[in-house]
Chains A and B, each alone.
Chain A
Amino acid sequence: MSSCILKIENITKSFAGFIANKNVNLEIFEGEIHTILGENGAGKSTLMNILTGLYRPDSGNIYINGTRVNIKSPKDALNYKIGMVHQHFMLVNNISVFENLLLSMKLDSFVINERKLKSKVKEILREFELDIDIEMPVWKLSIGQQQWVELIKLLIRDSKILILDEPTAVLTPQESEFLFTFLTKLKSQNKAIIFISHKMKEVMTLSDKVTILKKGETVKTLNRGEFDEQLLAELMISNKEHLKLEKSAKVFSKQILKIKNLNVKNDKGLSDLSDFSLELFEGEILGIAGITGNGQKALAEVLTGLKKPLSGQIIVNDQDITYSTSKSKYISGIAHIPEDRKTMGIAPDLSVDENLILKNYSSDKFTNFFFLNKEKIKQNAREQIEKYSIKMGYDGIPVRLLSGGNIQKVIIARELSENPLILVALYPTRGLDVGSAEYVHQVILDSREKGMSTILISEDLDELLKISDRIAVMFRGKNMGYLSPESATKTEIGLLMSGKK
């Protein structure tokens, strides 16, 4: 029997009167992968931030190896060998991987033996078969690779308790697989791993134990064998009604969007889209499968006027909009759920109310002449918050303080509220709990009934197969061809995604 390395006892934490954690109890043992499961805003990240010294609890105790500890700062947490990869991690972008690692070491001492550290990093890279050039500037790395850098930081410091807050939300399925083998290896080295995810399949395969958190309180801890997807969902979701997705059969005739031979280059001078062509019909949900980084982001940005193509044509409703700006009439009919919710989707210091009108703040609905109509804006917010069950702590809270999933809900609510002609959605359900993800699918399907056309960009093949009418596959900025979700197999799509016809 391994020993209890970390014990959390009656932890309570509130923010300006809003209780995010209430009498939370949790025991973590060596050599286990312990999943924390809960709806968006249940308080998972808050609890983890308490463990890493970013927040101080209002009351309650934390024990490490049986002794009571007081974690006052991230540095304390490091001393107790607790390390965390955050939901929205931050590396210093324009310096190299190695310098980033150095920076994190500076916390501990003045003098650093560079050679020793380098060989240690190399050793870790070798041990886990990681392919990262440590002299590379961080911005050149993919998000997945950046996450590895965060993990390496924890390993260098020899953390015994590793916390991963939704690590797989930003990973491709392949990268996730790789992460899981890695975690299993760490587990066999007797480390304790706290894992957070909304993807039930992962939770099922990976967890030794699952603790469910609901509205800030611990509901239950279950051991492997005692839980299945159904049970977990029931325990965590507060409103019991289960959505049954229904999709009407439709025949599509009218072409609404036509993209012809589009070429787009990115800041690094590489091709994002090369001779990309696509057709979208009115009322259709066109799924686009593909590994992140194959031009999906660029596609969304040219469609919404944020990026200019080098050549090619975009035609919406027989109108050429290739070089229109984002304020033009046709482009403003294209809603966009961006990939980076924090860097593009929100104005972080503004309130939820204000963020919900980011796209249509100047519409007559919300204004009187030059003035904003605060009453109407509030009214709109109340409706959207209710509709998408956005949990936001106290009234007027800056949107950056919302939980990850709830920020995503704010963006989705806003983008769908204007009855757009076309919706370009990048990974819309990323970071959403199962209930909310279902709800978003439902809303997209409802809008489809009303004639909205959707380009649904996702890596989750289950999601694509579930709600798309057609599926296109993107690889290196090209459209590899269309498939029908009724007949296509995952292997078939997977092959196209890796460029094999």
Chain B
Amino acid sequence: MKFKVLKKPPVQGYKSFLTTLFSVIIALLISGAFLMLVDVNPISAYKDMLIESLGSFYGLTETLVKTTPLILCGLGVAVAFRMQLWNIGAEGQLYMGAFGASLVALHLNVESHFVMITLMFLSSIFFGGLWALIPGALKAIYNVNETIVTLLMNYIAILWVDFLVYGAWKDPKGFNFPLSAEFSSAARLSEYFDTRLHTGFFIALVCALIVYLLIEKTIWGYEIKVIGSNSKAAAYAGINIKKNIMLVMFISGALSAIAGFSELAGVQHRLQHAISPGYGYTAIIIAWLAKRSALGVVLVSFLMGVLFVGGDSMQIYYQLPVAMVSVFQGLILFSLIVAEFFKEHKIIMVKQQ
């Protein structure tokens, strides 16, 4: 007996939805078993998760707060995927964006909220974009594999931020914690409805709209799609591939950098150790599940936001260890990926003669 994986015509329509639903249910059952092991009733745990993340207005805004960086990083990764560029460095680009924003917030003395925010925004785009442009240029000029370079540069970016918050930028009044001084009020995004929902969320939505328009409606988007579909045809059509690789990597990095800006200016209000719980990595899965479409990224990010907030609430209400929550989130993500796999493949058993 052996197993073999075969490609099949992709499942579409309601069947596709059922496949996803089915695999999510399986993931819920498996993690339910884990929950029972630690004496938690899975049904009530799941119910509380939903109530926490969607059941109240405040919960919903909390979910949107978590959704914001996911949308931005997801867009960044998706834009690069469009051109078959495997940028898995969104996490590092987020950190460099956060660095860029803090550089302005901590060192420029500007009174005007608008000027301050604009400068922070531009600075984060500048640093995050350049950060991604490095692997982009290496790819365009020397054909260096961007996957490895972007991945490794994540560590550099994260450690660079650590270096600052443990050293030069450490808040003297911070009891030796790895954090910078707090941003001035000019450097903070407005919050709405007495919740933590901030302007960053709306910036993310606008970015999604812009990315959608750029890719689907513009001449440039057409070039990107042609390169992504067949780079030889692109050369034949006279499209400048090298220039576009670098441009797309810059934009991709800039989008993730905006996530860093929005996290700091909107939520954390200072640079600190571990500003992201892995938004940039989750973004890879988001972009993939969203099939690289901008609207898809927004929707999938929202679902991930639910997962993040729900996970937090389990931690708080049931005193579950973080690892348990990670197992739960991992199972759900895994089941979504498996569902996508089974929409295009099937496994058959073959009898050996």
With a CB–CB cut-off of 8 A, which chain B residues contact A372? 217-219, 221-222
Q: Report if A354 contacts B (CB, 8 A).
A: yes
Task: Report which residue of A306, A343, A344 has the largest number of chain B beta carbons within 10 angstroms of its beta carbon.
Answer: A344
B236 engages A345 (CB within 8 Å): yes
Of chain A, the residue at the smallest CB distance from B213 is: A371
CA distance A186 to B252 in the complex (A): 57
CA distance A215 to B233 in the complex (A): 30
CA distance A309 to B217 in the complex (A): 37
A343 engages B217 (CB within 8 Å): no
Q: B230's contact among A336, A347, A371, A374, by CB below 8 Å, is which?
A: A347
B229 engages A327 (CB within 8 Å): no
With a CB–CB cut-off of 8 A, which chain A residues contact B236? 304, 306, 326, 336, 338, 344-345, 358
**Smallest CB separation, B303 vs chain A (Å):** 26
**Smallest CB separation, B302 vs chain A (Å):** 27
Given that A110-B2, A327-B238, A344-B236 are known contacts, is A370 also in contact with B229, CB under 8 Å in the complex? Answer: no
Of chain B, the residue at the smallest CB distance from A377 is: B222
Which residues of A in the span 105-156 have a Cβ within 8 Å of any Cβ on B? 109-110
B219 engages A367 (CB within 8 Å): yes
A326 engages B238 (CB within 8 Å): yes
Q: Report if A359 contacts B (CB, 8 A).
A: yes
CA distance A443 to B237 in the complex (A): 22
Q: Report if B225 contacts A (CB, 8 A).
A: yes
A348 engages B229 (CB within 8 Å): yes
With a CB–CB cut-off of 8 A, which chain B residues contact A354? 222, 225
With a CB–CB cut-off of 8 A, which chain A residues contact B155? none
Q: B233's contact among A55, A73, A109, A346, by CB below 8 Å, is which?
A: A346
With a CB–CB cut-off of 8 A, which chain A residues contact B217? 371-372, 374
CA distance A248 to B114 in the complex (A): 73
Q: Report if A228 contacts B (CB, 8 A).
A: no
Of chain A, the residue at the smallest CB distance from B234 is: A347
Of chain A, the residue at the smallest CB distance from B220 is: A370
A343 engages B232 (CB within 8 Å): yes
CA distance A325 to B222 in the complex (A): 20
A346 engages B222 (CB within 8 Å): no
Q: Report if B235 contacts A (CB, 8 A).
A: yes
Which residues of B in the span 189-247 have a Cβ within 8 Å of any Cβ on A? 217-223, 225-226, 228-230, 232-238, 240
A361 engages B235 (CB within 8 Å): no
CA distance A350 to B239 in the complex (A): 16
Q: Report if B6 contacts A (CB, 8 A).
A: yes
Q: Report if A492 contacts B (CB, 8 A).
A: no
Of chain A, the residue at the smallest CB distance from B226 is: A347
With a CB–CB cut-off of 8 A, which chain B residues contact A350? 225-226, 229
- Contact residues on B (Cβ < 8 Å of other chain), bracket: 20 to 34
Q: A73's contact among B6, B219, B221, B238, by CB below 8 Å, is which?
A: B6
CA distance A370 to B9 in the complex (A): 36
Q: Mark A299-323, 1 if CB is under 8 A from B, else 0.
A: 0000011100000000000000000
With a CB–CB cut-off of 8 A, which chain A residues contact B222? 354, 361, 372
B233 engages A345 (CB within 8 Å): yes
Q: Report if A184 contacts B (CB, 8 A).
A: no
CA distance A433 to B232 in the complex (A): 27
With a CB–CB cut-off of 8 A, which chain A residues contact B235? 306, 326
Q: Report if A362 contacts B (CB, 8 A).
A: yes
Could you tell me the dominant secondary structure of chain B's interface residues? helix
With a CB–CB cut-off of 8 A, which chain A residues contact B348? 73
**Smallest CB separation, A13 vs chain B (Å):** 12
Of chain A, the residue at the smallest CB distance from B353 is: A109
With a CB–CB cut-off of 8 A, which chain A residues contact B240? 327
**Smallest CB separation, A319 vs chain B (Å):** 18
Of chain A, the residue at the smallest CB distance from B222 is: A361
**Smallest CB separation, A249 vs chain B (Å):** 36
**Smallest CB separation, A45 vs chain B (Å):** 16
Q: Report if A61 contacts B (CB, 8 A).
A: no
A347 engages B233 (CB within 8 Å): yes
CA distance A302 to B170 in the complex (A): 60
Of chain A, the residue at the smallest CB distance from B350 is: A75
Q: Report if A349 contacts B (CB, 8 A).
A: yes
**Smallest CB separation, B252 vs chain A (Å):** 19
Given that A110-B2, A347-B225, A350-B225 are known contacts, is A359 also in contact with B237, CB under 8 Å in the complex? Answer: yes
Which residues of A in the span 75-131 have a Cβ within 8 Å of any Cβ on B? 109-110
A358 engages B218 (CB within 8 Å): no
CA distance A343 to B240 in the complex (A): 18
Which residues of B in the span 222-278 have a Cβ within 8 Å of any Cβ on A? 222-223, 225-226, 228-230, 232-238, 240
Q: Report if A447 contacts B (CB, 8 A).
A: no
With a CB–CB cut-off of 8 A, which chain B residues contact A362? 219
**Smallest CB separation, A359 vs chain B (Å):** 6
B229 engages A347 (CB within 8 Å): yes
Q: Report if A23 contacts B (CB, 8 A).
A: no
Which residues of A in the span 201-258 have a Cβ within 8 Å of any Cβ on B? none
With a CB–CB cut-off of 8 A, which chain B residues contact A338? 236
CA distance A325 to B6 in the complex (A): 44
Of chain A, the residue at the smallest CB distance from B232 is: A344
Of chain A, the residue at the smallest CB distance from B217 is: A371
Q: A358's contact among B220, B221, B237, by CB below 8 Å, is which?
A: B237
With a CB–CB cut-off of 8 A, which chain A residues contact B2? 110
Q: Mark A325-359, 1 if CB is under 8 A from B, else 0.
A: 11100001000101000011111111000100011
CA distance A327 to B239 in the complex (A): 8
**Smallest CB separation, B177 vs chain A (Å):** 48
A358 engages B232 (CB within 8 Å): no
CA distance A372 to B214 in the complex (A): 10
CA distance A79 to B240 in the complex (A): 48
Of chain B, the residue at the smallest CB distance from A342 is: B230
**Smallest CB separation, A108 vs chain B (Å):** 9
CA distance A346 to B232 in the complex (A): 9
Given that A73-B6, A372-B217 are known contacts, is A332 also in contact with B238, CB under 8 Å in the complex? Answer: yes
CA distance A267 to B168 in the complex (A): 53
B218 engages A370 (CB within 8 Å): yes
CA distance A348 to B222 in the complex (A): 13
Task: Report which residue of B217, B221, B229, B348 has the largest number of chain A beta carbons within 10 angstroms of its beta carbon.
Answer: B229
CA distance A345 to B226 in the complex (A): 11
Of chain B, the residue at the smallest CB distance from A72 is: B348
CA distance A110 to B352 in the complex (A): 9
With a CB–CB cut-off of 8 A, which chain A residues contact B9? 55
B230 engages A343 (CB within 8 Å): yes
CA distance A179 to B273 in the complex (A): 70
With a CB–CB cut-off of 8 A, which chain A residues contact B228? 349
CA distance A332 to B221 in the complex (A): 21
CA distance A344 to B226 in the complex (A): 11
CA distance A348 to B238 in the complex (A): 17
B219 engages A348 (CB within 8 Å): no
**Smallest CB separation, A243 vs chain B (Å):** 30
CA distance A10 to B352 in the complex (A): 34
CA distance A327 to B236 in the complex (A): 10
With a CB–CB cut-off of 8 A, which chain A residues contact B226? 347, 350, 358
**Smallest CB separation, A169 vs chain B (Å):** 20
Which residues of A in the span 370-425 have a Cβ within 8 Å of any Cβ on B? 370-372, 374
- Other A-B contacts than A327-B238, A371-B217, 15 sampled, CB-CB below 8 A, are A306-B235, A345-B233, A346-B233, A347-B225, A347-B233, A349-B230, A350-B225, A354-B222, A358-B236, A361-B223, A362-B219, A370-B218, A370-B219, A371-B219, A372-B219
Q: Can you list 15 A-B pairs, Cβ within 8 angstroms, ordered by A?
A: A73-B6, A109-B352, A306-B236, A336-B236, A344-B233, A347-B226, A347-B230, A347-B233, A348-B229, A350-B229, A358-B236, A358-B237, A359-B237, A361-B222, A367-B219
In order of increasing CB-CB distance, the 5 nearest A-B pairs are A347-B229, A326-B238, A349-B229, A327-B238, A347-B226
